[in-house]
A and B are shown apart, each in its own frame.
Chain A
Amino acid sequence: NAGVTQTPKFQVLKTGQSMTLQCAQDMNHNSMYWYRQDPGMGLRLIYYSASEGTTDKGEVPNGYNVSRLNKREFSLRLESAAPSQTSVYFCASRPYGGYTGELFFGEGSRLTVL
């Protein structure tokens, strides 16, 4: 059972380059999330998708776009990377109507923007 799979695990970009982080879950979850984690800042929500076909901004959406490709996949795109986007990015999913707040996280994608 793979859970939440993120690719790539590591990436180095130059300022101004673009890239897409991919996320897929095999748990049939409805909701999916993208967070970034920075030292001293904790996890901050970038975008989320409550269900297939919907996306909403989180706390720090500027500089990012997302696509909920289907129920399984939720991608995060950086159109013109900036050094401030150097971070560890986590994708997470959550079952619809789950009684808990349980988010299932991937292992993270470490991005460095030079």
Chain B
Amino acid sequence: QKEVEQDPGPLSVPEGAIVSLNCTYSNSAFQYFMWYRQYSRKGPELLMYTYSSGNKEDGRFTAQVDKSSKYISLFIRDSQPSDSATYLCAMNHTGNQFYFGTGTSLTVIP
């Protein structure tokens, strides 16, 4: 079983839609939860970061962590064509290694 599972999609939504992206994980020691955005032929860049359980909001983006269910989510409100990218969840505990999901490809159609 992989440490982090993520539905690869692809996901296609109309502009203005609410997007929900999700990951599940198996290691209860994970404390730091991240979402990276990766545009085509570019490196990933950090979008959101959450420590332990709870919600975090940044503009149109909301990250949620439910440690009891080992489930994290990223919500994108009022999605824009510029949000079209691959979204990677990532996790780690206190060490140096990060565990990434496989990424979900999102296309927002104008």
Contacts and interface: CB of A to CB of B under 8 A. Distances in A.
A74 interface: no
Interface residues of B, number: 24
A90 interface: yes
Nearest to B49: A100
A101 B101 CA distance: 15
Interface stretch (A61-69, A77-85, A105-113): A105-113
B4 to A, nearest CB: 8
A42 B43 contact: no
A105 to B, nearest CB: 3
A62 B102 CA distance: 21
Contact of B43 (A31, A90, A94): A90
Interface string B25-63: 000000010101000011111100100000000000000
Interface of A: 4, 31, 40-45, 48, 50, 56, 58, 90, 92, 94, 100-103, 105-108
Interface of B: 4, 6, 8, 32, 34, 36, 41-46, 49, 88, 90-92, 96-98, 100-103
